[in-house]
Amino acid sequence: MNPLQVHDLVISVLEDMKAVDITIIDVKGQNSLTDEMVIASGTSSRHLSALADDLVKKAKEAGVPPLGVEGKNGSDWVLVDLNDVIVHLMLPRARAFYNLEKLWSASEAQREKS
| 1-52: pLDDT as tens digits | 898 999 999 999 999 999 999 999 888 776 667 778 899 999 999 999 999 9
Which amino acid, 34?
T
| 98-109: pLDDT as tens digits | 998 887 764 443
Distance CA 53, CA 45 (A): 12
| Cα–Cα separations (whole angstroms), residue 103 to 57, 99, 110 | 30, 6, 11
Sorted by where each starts, the structural domains of the chain and their CATH numbers stand as 3-108 (3.30.460.10)
| Mean local confidence (pLDDT), 64-71 | 94
What pLDDT is stored for residue 32 in this prediction? 64
> Largest Cα–Cα distance of the chain, in whole Å?
43
| Mean local confidence (pLDDT), 49-77 | 94
pTM recorded for the entire structure: 0.87
Query: If we measure between CA atoms, which residue out of 81, 85, 20, 28 comes closest to residue 52?
Result: 81
